[in-house]
Amino acid sequence: MNFLQPLLSAIHASNQPWWVKVRTQTPDCTYYFGPFDSKSEAKLLQAGYLEDLNQEGAQNIKLAVEKAHPKNLTSCAFE
C-alpha cells in the first residue's frame, strides 16, 4: 500500500486552496490571507495585503502564494 502514498499526497495537495502567506520581521509574524480558488486570484489580491501591512509599520515583508491549509491565520513570536 506504500506505493499509493505519493499519489494520495498529490491528490490531497491538489485539493487544497491557495493562500497568500506573508512573513514580517517586525513584528515577527506570519499571516495567511485566503482561501482563494486560484493562484492568479491570490496574486492579484496580495498587493492589498502588502499595502495594509506597510501602513501598519511592518518591516521586511515577504510574500508567497502557496497551497496550504493553515492551522492559524496569524502567528507571532512575542518576547
Q: Per residue in 15-52, pLDDT tens?
A: 799 999 999 999 999 999 999 999 999 999 999 999 99
At 70, phi and psi to the nearest 5?
-65, 140
Structure confidence by residue, pLDDT tens digits, 42-52: 999 999 999 99
- Tell me 76's DSSP state: E
Q: What would the grid cell of residue 11 be? A: 491528490
Would you say 24 and 70 are in contact if contact means Cβ atoms under 8 Å apart? Answer: no
Residue 60: φ, ψ to 5°? 50, 65
* Euclidean distance between CA atoms 65 and 79, whole angstroms: 28
Alpha helices in 1-79 (DSSP H): 5-14, 39-55
